Structure 1
Amino acid sequence: MRIRLTILAIFISMTAIAQGLDDLEPRSVEPSRTILTPYHNLASALANDAAASRFRAPLAEFVRSTEGATVRYTSHFVKPVSWLNRQQLVRVDFCDTAYRLYVNGREVGYSPSGVLPCEFNITKATVEGRNEIAIVADGASRSNRLYCSAAKGLGTVEVLCPPTIRLRDISAQVRMNEVGDAVAEFAMPVKCDALNRKSAVFHYTLRLNDTILLAEGYRDMALAMRGEDSVRFACVVPKSALWSTAAPTMVRLDVESRIDNRIAECVSRKIALRELSQRKGALYVNGERVKLNMVEYSALSSLDEVAKYGYNTVILTYDKGADAVIAECERRGIYVVVRTPIDTTALGDNIRRGGNPSNDPLWGGLYIALNDRTLHLTKGYGAVVGYAIAKGKTTGVNIYDTYLYMKQNGDARLVIYEGAGGEWCSDKIEK
């Protein structure tokens, strides 16, 4: 994974530097991951408490000012003494344009794709006490022309200060073994931000219906300075614990880390476990062949219409509020195909030189980066059975390159492009 991210970063950087297109290149953006919020105790993690805690400081109020096509959002947070030896991150959930992030007047990051959540490490720019955060949205950035998001303004912004040894992500896969049992495999990457060797113990429990214990255990871990490792475990789960459209069952994974025998971090996550595979052009969920009857989420007045009109899958553009929609689809037993918020027809159908960016190699790195970010932001949802590269019908070289990149991630999910017109840049969907 680290090699893939490095190659992707080099490709984007070299493309942008060679042509001077620095407004297409993200800067100082943390590697993509599913949204993971640390808490200081399990009760807060179970409640998903959005209030400020020892690990997070939501920024509730921003002062908005405009100058031409530029909009500046300014707020403040207080860095307590307890944060001095830890890393600070800013998570920006959504911005309707490309933006630059400033802390105390110092630029600390840039995102050409504000429509997707981003995290930035701001540690070196912060001071003890009061700190100013400014998000400068650039309405004139050329990258804004790519997007098909209808949402406007600025979304949720919060400052995170996780412990020195922290969970970076949680992922789960299910496979059927030789005797037909479901085996769930979990991986939790861990990162150490300390400047010396550090040890921690990770305790985990997996429960069905919040009561039935499916698995529990712990892992002792010692990490060197800036070291990384993973907590992994596997267990056999009953088929009744698997998620499907007929029975949208969820399991709950609770993780507690301890440093020096004190609770350092608690994370709780509801997970839709399901086995997904493709065989001979057909999609299988938990070993059963499924056909996707899809509808655009934007065409619905509510999710109640999915079953009412005979659909079982929604195509959802990933932008502001998309996570809440996907979570509700999981609860209801609805498949989701997540679309990266790119509109290939936004700049016309001409794919010759100087025409649509979908056929301009200078934009190729951004197409791949946006789809890669969408993948990692949503890979934790079992309801997500596929990804749509973009909206539109223009089939340029960047569509083909993005399709190949997405197929290399080892995931069984579909990768489609609705405007493929029968060409090979899209998996075939059995309807």
Structure 2
Amino acid sequence: MRECKVWEDISITDINRMNARASFYSYPNKQSALYNEPIYTHNLKSLNGSWKFLFMEAPEYSPLNFEQANFDVGDWDTITVPSNWQIEGYGNMHYSDLWYNFPIRPPYVPTDNPTAIYKRTFTIGENWLDEDVILRFQGVDSAFHLWINGREVGYSKGARMTTEFDISSYVTPGENEVTVRVYQWSDGTYLEDQDMWWLSGIFRDVELYTQPKAGIDDFKVDTILKDSYMTGELTVAGKVRGGREGLTLSYELLDDRLETVISGEQKMIDQFSFAEKIDQPKLWSAERPNLYTLLLTVKQGEEIIEVIPQVVGFRHIEPQGKAFTVNGVAIKFKGVNRHDYHPATGRVVSKEAIRKDIHLMKQHNINAIRTAHYPNSPYLYELCDLYGMYVIDEADIECHGFELTNNYNWVADDPAWEKVHVDRLVRMVERDKNHPSIIMWSLGNESGFGHNFRKMAEVCNELDSSRLVHYEGDSKTEVTDVYSTMYTWLENQPEGRISMQDIIDKTEKPHIHCEYGHAMGNGPGGLKEYQELIYKHEQLQGGFIWEWYDHGIETTDENGNVYYRYGGDYGDDPTNGNFCIDGLLMPDRTPSPALIEYKKIIEPVHTHAVDLAQGKIQVENKYDFINLDDLTLHYSIEKDGKIVQTGTAALTGISARTTKEVLLDYDLTFPKELGTDYYLTISYVTNRDFNWGKQGQQLATAQFKLPIETEALIISPTGTLQVEKSHTKLVISGEETEITFDTVKGQMTSWKKNGVEVVEQGPKLQFWRAPIDNDMYLLKDYKEKYFMHLWHEMVDSVDYEQTEDYVTITVKTVNGTTNSAWYYRCSYEYRIYPNGDILFEVTGTPDGMIENAPKMIPRIGVEMRINKNCENARWYGTGPGESYSDSKQANLTGVYEKTVEEMFTNYVHPQENGNRTDTHWARLVNRYGVGIMAVANNSTFDFGATYYETTDLEAAKHTIDLQKRDYIVLHLDYKQNGLGSNSCGQSQLEKYRCKFEAFTLKTKLSVYSTKEISDSIKAKEQLV
């Protein structure tokens, strides 16, 4: 018979824990309450800091009498609270998305149950005992016992939720000792199988504070809007502790200038409630988060016992038809999923780090957060109220591992587990109920469905009917108010899965994408098409990108180089590897290209050309509530990277969801240069400071090619060429250039300018790219069926012809993969002119058993090896950041300069990166201006330059594994496959796929000095 242990007993959610209640602080007077800083409360001590620490393999190894105050801890370690003990070097680091790390026998957990005992002392004065002394833990993973001065106080589980104990009868004036024993595994672990590192310990703040013995124990604030949202009703109801005669409650609602809007007073004993009407309240939304301050003052006669401040936001949430509305508007979520996470401290996240997160989100047009998949740090919600962020608050429930047992509903539909499910829902709702930013309660994530979720929804509605209920696992929306899906495909969806069109056609409830756009590595692509669909249909109310952070663990190698570990780097098995590297932010908080793209996709202003010759455009406001008065339109006319004209325009009178024609005051009568394109570039910039960013934040952009036609500049090369043929070599030389070909392989092996070798290996077809994370489900077929990484070029012929004006070299090849009966018949043509320019053309025609070819191939293009000193890149195309066919909206057309090093995107898990789309010309030069240039001949091309071969990127696990080559790899691509989101979601959309198709890539290649280039950039060679 197995011994019953409290940490395996689902009938016990806690022992002696205080009832869940709203998160608030109590102050001794109004002035302190208005500051609303914990240091001004009655009494408060942070117990963060150094604790004595004993780590063991199981609870049973705890020393006898360890909880006693006189127990000798001299040989114990010291640990910082808050922290995760794995990050501090105890136990094992482990990442998994799917699996429990032990046999599934709910509620039982392994005998090997890593456990830690924490001890520290604290001192309190006599005056503390005049009030109730409360010890609050904001987060302990996974369950724990508490002792004060050797006496057991209680027990709690539910890792990511607040736990409070009344320890008034356990403490004495002077020094006291607290002992906490924390268990890594408990029956609660079965509800805590989220996609993240398994991290344990006391990981959020620990606070000791007092509250008056007679005062407010809990309260709930509700706002209702009536009369077309012109009238607000504030209702407040609460419980009183230590009820006694003579207590009065006075209340006062202050506006943002701290002027009184309403006030009142009433007697109270055990509870209180009041309702007040407010005419024309300033409404709260994510776009304009207007807040009021409610002061609740408890008095005994004239003596102030406590003052409690609470921010209030007037907003009203309700379903209307197939949509849900906030203040009458069917809003659009432009959101992200967010964990509490930091690369150096795990799930310990400082207030400053959270504040920076919100600032970054606001600066990137994000308006919503889903707290995946548990209640986040309490401070997050305060900031979401203040800065304006819609929140789906999610209960600490995920049972993903059960999916693999073929009984996903194992605990979800077992009434024996009802209590522990409901407990987590109740504690979340009670803690966070007064935050206006929260507009939905989520019952959890990926946990099946059944009796316990029905019960949670019932309890949720009883506790708070003012918000909507969400749970993606309720696929039939039996108990939820919104239809929520994950990674729903736009097209080509796998068999048995619904599509976005199915949702549009069939659903009767509002739809949200609680997860989409998997931001793993390089990607996601295709966000533009999702957003266009969201704007088109009112019942599609947006979604949440997975996710905000890369969950890499900061590590320094022996040379001081910082890199980031992921699953499997600690010998953890099973693991989902780098699946935790899936954020819009790199681990060091650097915005990824995906975040820059998402910012553009969800930008609040869209611009449409009306008559560009006359400066007429149409400005469309995509906000749900606010006008564009806080933005100023800045425009410039640019050519070749230089600004010709600039100007601004005011955006007054453009209300939410309306459009207006705007006239830009530019003049197109200026002198034009031959062979030059002119672009109108527009940016929408904040014209005042916000609490999330200083004036000058760019929130939206637009660009149009102006209707200015100029004649091309024609250059006729002069001079003579010599051809020298030997056994296996062909050398073509002019006055300053020398080009060498290997006539066996049909490949350029050297290209020199004035004796300097610029090209070390000439163009060779390349159809493979270093796999990106979003290619992961293609790789098995790519590598084991099609051998796509093993291309072979078989040369059929190498011919040359010399005329008076140029030399033409033609190479015929067959290009195919190992064991393939499908292949390309290709032709390289080099037309070499006396000045050293080459008109280069490569074509390919599918041949062989075409029906056996793959539906997508990674790329079609050529690569070259360039002298490593040609590190300075300049190009005319999209930029400045990397771009791909389905992820390029954020990059505008222009002339840009970067070093090859700067063009590299340092993804935690190395992969294809750094591509630039729609390139008209690109060049690489050394410090003396000598280098190579490629100019598009008939259409644009993609280009990239890097110090790594595709094989280098593919082989590396981490950035520190990469060793620079002693040359630069230059890619010129006819096409590269889109990114998609197929690490978890939609594969590449049809229009962005690189297919086994006929192709032609034409460029003019020049090895030159920049002194010679002023005209040839724009020139079209005269062909003889």
TM-score normalised to structure 2 length = 0.37
Shift of 1:35: 0.9
- Name the counterpart of 1:395: 449
Matched, 1:248 2:303: no
Contact 1:348 1:356 in 2 (8 A): no
User: 1:107-128 CA distances to partner (integer Å, 9 max, x unpaired)?
Assistant: 2221121320011122232333
Cα distance 1:404–1:233, how it changes in 2: closer, same or farther (>3 A)? closer
- Name the counterpart of 1:263: 304
Shift of 1:303: 4.1
- C-alpha distance in 2 between matches for 1:414 and 1:127: 46
In structure 1, the residue corresponding to 2:18 is in which secondary structure? coil
Worse overlay, 49-58 or 321-330: 49-58
Matched, 1:340 2:395: yes
* Correspondence list, 1:70-81, <5 A: 70-81=115-126
Worse overlay, 165-174 or 378-387: 165-174
Worse overlay, 212-221 or 170-179: 170-179
- Identity level (%): 19
How many residue pairs get aligned? The number is: 405
- Name the counterpart of 1:361: 415
User: 1:154-173 CA distances to partner (integer Å, 9 max, x unpaired)?
Assistant: 22122232112212234222
In structure 1, the residue corresponding to 2:385 is in which secondary structure? helix
In structure 2, the residue corresponding to 1:215 is in which secondary structure? strand
* Correspondence list, 1:216-235, <5 A: 216-221=263-268, 223=269, 228-235=270-277
- Name the counterpart of 2:428: 374
Contact 2:374 2:393 in 1 (8 A): no
Contact 1:39 1:55 in 2 (8 A): no
> What one-letter code is carried by the residue in structure 1 that aligns with 2:256?
N
- C-alpha distance in 2 between matches for 1:54 and 1:81: 13
Contact 2:221 2:234 in 1 (8 A): yes
Contact 1:352 1:359 in 2 (8 A): no
Match of 1:166 among 207, 212, 215: 215
Match of 2:56 among 67, 71, 75: 67
Of structures 1 and 2, the one with the larger relative CO (CA 8 A, separation 6+) is 1
- Name the counterpart of 2:179: 134
Matched, 1:215 2:262: yes
Match of 1:326 among 378, 381, 401: 381
Shift of 1:23: 7.0
In structure 2, the residue corresponding to 1:346 is in which secondary structure? helix
- Name the counterpart of 2:25: 37
Contact 1:23 1:143 in 2 (8 A): no
> What one-letter code is carried by the residue in structure 1 that aligns with 2:56?
E
Contact 2:224 2:314 in 1 (8 A): no
- Name the counterpart of 2:930: none
In structure 1, the residue corresponding to 2:405 is in which secondary structure? coil
> What one-letter code is carried by the residue in structure 1 that aligns with 2:278?
V
Cα distance 1:22–1:76, how it changes in 2: closer, same or farther (>3 A)? farther
Worse overlay, 198-207 or 131-140: 198-207
Cα distance 1:395–1:106, how it changes in 2: closer, same or farther (>3 A)? same
Shift of 1:316: 1.0
Cα distance 1:139–1:242, how it changes in 2: closer, same or farther (>3 A)? same
Matched, 1:407 2:452: no
> What one-letter code is carried by the residue in structure 1 that aligns with 2:280?
P
In structure 2, the residue corresponding to 1:34 is in which secondary structure? coil
Cα distance 1:211–1:408, how it changes in 2: closer, same or farther (>3 A)? closer
- Name the counterpart of 1:296: 337
> What one-letter code is carried by the residue in structure 2 that aligns with 1:119?
E
Contact 2:375 2:395 in 1 (8 A): no
Shift of 1:314: 1.7
Shift of 1:293: 4.3
Cα distance 1:272–1:103, how it changes in 2: closer, same or farther (>3 A)? same
Worse overlay, 368-377 or 26-35: 26-35
- Name the counterpart of 2:316: 275
Worse overlay, 296-305 or 147-156: 296-305
In structure 2, the residue corresponding to 1:266 is in which secondary structure? strand
- C-alpha distance in 1 between matches for 2:120 and 2:237: 33
- Name the counterpart of 1:86: 131
Shift of 1:100: 1.1
- C-alpha distance in 2 between matches for 1:426 and 1:32: 24
Match of 1:100 among 132, 145, 148: 145
Shift of 1:208: 1.1
- C-alpha distance in 2 between matches for 1:229 and 1:108: 28
Match of 2:36 among 48, 51, 54: 48
- C-alpha distance in 2 between matches for 1:188 and 1:280: 31
Shift of 1:417: 1.3
> What one-letter code is carried by the residue in structure 2 that aligns with 1:288?
V
Matched, 1:205 2:244: no
> What one-letter code is carried by the residue in structure 1 that aligns with 2:138?
D
- C-alpha distance in 2 between matches for 1:168 and 1:138: 30
- C-alpha distance in 2 between matches for 1:416 and 1:200: 40
TM-score normalised to structure 1 length = 0.83
User: 1:322-375 CA distances to partner (integer Å, 9 max, x unpaired)?
Assistant: 32222222233221101112112134443649x842233322211111011111
- C-alpha distance in 1 between matches for 2:327 and 2:470: 21
Task: Tell me which structure has the larger Cα radius of gyration.
Answer: 2
- C-alpha distance in 1 between matches for 2:480 and 2:376: 26
- C-alpha distance in 2 between matches for 1:53 and 1:338: 27
Cα distance 1:65–1:186, how it changes in 2: closer, same or farther (>3 A)? farther
Match of 2:372 among 314, 317, 328: 317
> What one-letter code is carried by the residue in structure 2 that aligns with 1:46?
L
Extract unaligned runs of 5+ from structure 1.
Answer: 1-15
Shift of 1:31: 1.6
In structure 1, the residue corresponding to 2:180 is in which secondary structure? strand
Contact 1:24 1:363 in 2 (8 A): no
- C-alpha distance in 1 between matches for 2:31 and 2:157: 37
Extract unaligned runs of 5+ from structure 2.
Answer: 58-113, 342-355, 483-509, 512-540, 542-1024
- C-alpha distance in 1 between matches for 2:44 and 2:365: 43
Contact 1:192 1:198 in 2 (8 A): no
> What one-letter code is carried by the residue in structure 1 that aligns with 2:54?
S
In structure 2, the residue corresponding to 1:127 is in which secondary structure? coil
Worse overlay, 185-194 or 198-207: 185-194
Cα distance 1:199–1:145, how it changes in 2: closer, same or farther (>3 A)? same
In structure 1, the residue corresponding to 2:379 is in which secondary structure? helix
- C-alpha distance in 2 between matches for 1:52 and 1:212: 22
Contact 1:344 1:390 in 2 (8 A): no
Cα distance 1:213–1:261, how it changes in 2: closer, same or farther (>3 A)? closer
Shift of 1:306: 4.9
Q: CA RMSD in A?
A: 3.0
> What one-letter code is carried by the residue in structure 1 that aligns with 2:167?
I
Matched, 1:175 2:224: yes
Contact 1:386 1:413 in 2 (8 A): yes
Cα distance 1:313–1:84, how it changes in 2: closer, same or farther (>3 A)? closer
Cα distance 1:131–1:153, how it changes in 2: closer, same or farther (>3 A)? same
- C-alpha distance in 1 between matches for 2:31 and 2:201: 33
- Name the counterpart of 1:7: none
User: 1:196-215 CA distances to partner (integer Å, 9 max, x unpaired)?
Assistant: x4422333221111333211
- Name the counterpart of 1:13: none
Cα distance 1:305–1:173, how it changes in 2: closer, same or farther (>3 A)? same
- C-alpha distance in 1 between matches for 2:299 and 2:174: 27
Cα distance 1:199–1:78, how it changes in 2: closer, same or farther (>3 A)? farther
- C-alpha distance in 1 between matches for 2:177 and 2:265: 40
In structure 2, the residue corresponding to 1:89 is in which secondary structure? strand
User: 1:6-43 CA distances to partner (integer Å, 9 max, x unpaired)?
Assistant: xxxxxxxxxx99xx825742222222111111122333
